[in-house]
Amino acid sequence: MKEIQNIDCHCSDTKDLPEKINSRKKPHIPYKLILIAVGVGLWFFIYRQLYSFSTFLTYDVLSLEQGSHLGEAVHFFLYDTPKVLMLLSLVIFGVGVIRTFFTPEKTRKILAGKRESIGNVLAALLGIVTPFCSCSAVPLFIGFVTAGVPLGVTFSFLIAAPMVNEIALILLYGLLGWKIASLYLVTGLLVAIVAGWIIGRMGMEKHIEEWVREIRTNAHEVPENPLTWSERLHAGKAAVVDIVGKVWIYVIVGIAVGAGIHGYVPEGFMASIMGRDAWWSVPAAVVIGIPMYSNAAGIVPIIHALLEKGASLGTVLAFMMSVIALSLPEMVILRKVLKPTMIAVFVAVVGSGILLVGYLFNVII
Amino acid sequence: MEIKVCGPGCANCTKAESIVKEAVADSGIDAQILKISDFAEMAKLGILSTPAVVINGQIKCVGKVPTKNEVLEWLK
């Protein structure tokens, strides 16, 4: 037996040089994985203590009166702020790692030459995971359309990418529960798929600026840069620093406004304005949402508080979708490649989709 | 050597440009740095997301701000 073991050992020792270099590199990965596991464990431990800790801080340390306006507002703020920031950090890390597997170039390659209906579905789904920043909307639009991605499919992507993103979903999950988060995910995707499909059916190609149509690009020139796991994990960390570093102020302001509404606005106050019976509240929510520019991080704490005070779910979701998906700054950017008619059609189609979602939820829930 | 930094002018694009400038200054290489903010030009270079760095017509990175070490590596 000993002999055999020795032979095994001997064998693995005499592997050729590249293997050895690999094995020398490898120990970094398990070490990092252990670090991540410990970190996640610690994360869950702290996360579970947040509620009791914020209660202790509000009512014992600050000795605010339980049930008072100020007490309620402060408790809301002290509980939600660390909770949301912790959820964001964890999820952005995960998504940051996942996104290293997707690039706009790969997405374009997948979508180029796809049939419309299946293309719309794929585009909306890829919109969730493909890294995308709104200042890239124009080069991305040109790159997609000129490489043979159908116009409607491109729009499905452009609608889904900002609207159905990890920040929106995790905040909805953290503040309002998984049911509302899934409803948002499914309806957001549906709006993107159907709106893109309709725009595709309308044959709007002539409403793209001429100079764009003259460009021809090739979807198959994908610059390959294979990443190591260590690099992917690093990308996850970089995403946390970058995104949390950017949105934390929105989160805190959003939660502060939410806390104010939570503590001071009387129960049921919103029912008359944003309630189910006010039929005009859904279109009003969509229209008000267009010029408002905020990302999901700032808007979710506010809608959380609005819901509590009797606003209906459909109206609030319509408001959120409108704020995120129909933003004035993005339209100004897209105007560089699209003629005004096309922009108007885009707003009308997406706006109607959001309206429908709003009414649907007000009716069924 | 011709280096093109592409981006419409958002914070990340400006950051990418200054990193490239720093790296070029550090390496002492004689390189011409061009800032491309025209979308048509970007599309012709084959760029889908910004910021992007193109060296001698070859796309080096897209959709992210490179680190200075990465840029120094490309300059070699």
All residues of chain A having their beta carbon less than 8 Å from the beta carbon of residue B10 are 133, 135
Q: How confident is the model at residue A121 (pLDDT cuts 50, 70, 90)?
A: very high
How high is the pLDDT of residue A88? Answer: 87
Condensed to tens digits (0 to 9), the pLDDT of residues A47-74 reads 888 888 998 888 888 888 887 888 888 9
pLDDT at A304 > cutoff 90: no
Alpha-carbon gap, residue A192 to A188, rounded angstroms: 6
The mean pLDDT value for A137-157 works out to 87
Per-residue pLDDT of chain B (76 residues; tens, 9 = 90+): 889 898 877 778 888 889 999 998 888 888 888 888 888 788 778 788 888 888 888 888 887 788 888 888 888 7
pLDDT at A85 > cutoff 80: yes
B7 inside 8 A of chain A by CB: yes
Contacting residues for A47 by C-beta, under 8 A, at least 6 apart: A83, A86, A87
Tell me how many domains chain B contains.
Answer: 1
Q: Is A67 left (phi over 0), alpha (psi -120 to 50) or beta?
A: left
Q: How confident is the model at residue A28 (pLDDT cuts 50, 70, 90)?
A: low
pLDDT at A3 > cutoff 70: no
Token pair of A337, please?
């490649």
What is the extent of the structural domain holding B50?
2-75
pLDDT at A127 > cutoff 50: yes
How high is the pLDDT of residue A153? Answer: 93
Comparing A176-185, A186-195, A266-275, which segment has the lowest mean pLDDT? A266-275
All residues of chain A having their beta carbon less than 8 Å from the beta carbon of residue B62 are 103-105, 223
- What is the 3-state secondary structure of chain A? CHHHHHHHHHHHHCCCHHHHHHHHHCCHHHHHHHHHHHHHHHHHHHHHHHHHHHHHHHHHHCCCCCCCHHHHHHHHHHHHHHHHHHHHHHHHHHHHHHHCCCCHHHHHHHHCCCCHHHHHHHHHHHHHHCCCCHHHHHHHHHHHHHCCCCHHHHHHHHHHHHHCCHHHHHHHHHHHCHHHHHHHHHHHHHHHHHHHHHHHHCCCHHHECHHHHHCCCCCCCCCCCCCCHHHHHHHHHHHHHHHHHHHHHHHHHHHHHHHHHHHHCCCCHHHHHHCCCCCCHHHHHHHHHCCCCCCHHHHHHHHHHHHHCCCCHHHHHHHHHHHHHCCHHHHHHHCCCECHHHHHHHHHHHHHHHHHHHHHHHHHC
Comparing A20-24, A139-143, A281-285, which segment has the lowest mean pLDDT? A20-24
Comparing A155-164, A270-279, A305-314, which segment has the lowest mean pLDDT? A270-279
- Average pLDDT for chain A: 81
Condensed to tens digits (0 to 9), the pLDDT of residues A254-300 reads 888 888 888 888 877 777 777 777 788 889 888 888 887 666 777 88
Token pair of A184, please?
């948002």
Query: Would strands B58-62 and B2-6 be described as parallel, antiparallel, or unpaired?
Result: unpaired
Q: Do A131 and B62 touch (CB under 8 A)?
A: no
Q: What is the ipTM of this complex?
A: 0.78
Give Dmax (Cα) for chain B: 31
Q: How confident is the model at residue A352 (pLDDT cuts 50, 70, 90)?
A: very high
A222 inside 8 A of chain B by CB: no
The mean pLDDT value for A304-313 works out to 85
Q: How confident is the model at residue A13 (pLDDT cuts 50, 70, 90)?
A: very low
Report percent pLDDT > 90 for chain A.
15
Instruction: Provide the CB-side half-sphere exposure for B24 (13 A, CA).
Output: 18
pLDDT at A9 > cutoff 70: no
Q: Do A215 and B44 touch (CB under 8 A)?
A: yes
Closest CB to B39 among A105, A139, A223 = A139
How high is the pLDDT of residue A19? Answer: 39
How high is the pLDDT of residue A353? Answer: 92
Q: Is B57 left (phi over 0), alpha (psi -120 to 50) or beta?
A: left
Å from A295 to nearest chain B CA?
17
How high is the pLDDT of residue B46? Answer: 79
What residues form DSSP beta bridges with B55?
Answer: B3, B58
What CATH number does residue B40 fall under? 3.40.30.10
Active site residues of B: 10, 13
pLDDT at A41 > cutoff 50: yes
B30 inside 8 A of chain A by CB: no
Cis amide prior to B51 (ω within 30 degrees):
yes
What residues form DSSP beta bridges with A208?
Answer: A338
How high is the pLDDT of residue A22? Answer: 43
All residues of chain A having their beta carbon less than 8 Å from the beta carbon of residue B47 are 139, 143
Q: What is the pTM of this model?
A: 0.78
The mean pLDDT value for A10-28 works out to 42
- Backbone φ and ψ for A139, nearest 5 degrees, come out as -60, -35
All residues of chain A having their beta carbon less than 8 Å from the beta carbon of residue B40 are 142, 211-212, 215
- Average pLDDT for chain B: 85
How high is the pLDDT of residue A222? Answer: 56
Token pair of A137, please?
């909307």
Q: How confident is the model at residue A182 (pLDDT cuts 50, 70, 90)?
A: very high
Range 47-76 of B in CB contact (< 8 A) with A: 47-50, 59, 62-63
Token pair of A55, please?
């209660």
Closest CB to B46 among A136, A212, A221 = A221
Condensed to tens digits (0 to 9), the pLDDT of residues A203-241 reads 888 888 888 877 776 665 655 667 788 888 888 888 888
The mean pLDDT value for A35-40 works out to 87
Q: Could you give the C-alpha distances from A249 to A76, A244, A254, A318, in angstroms and in order?
A: 17, 9, 8, 24
Cα A128 from chain centroid (whole Å): 7
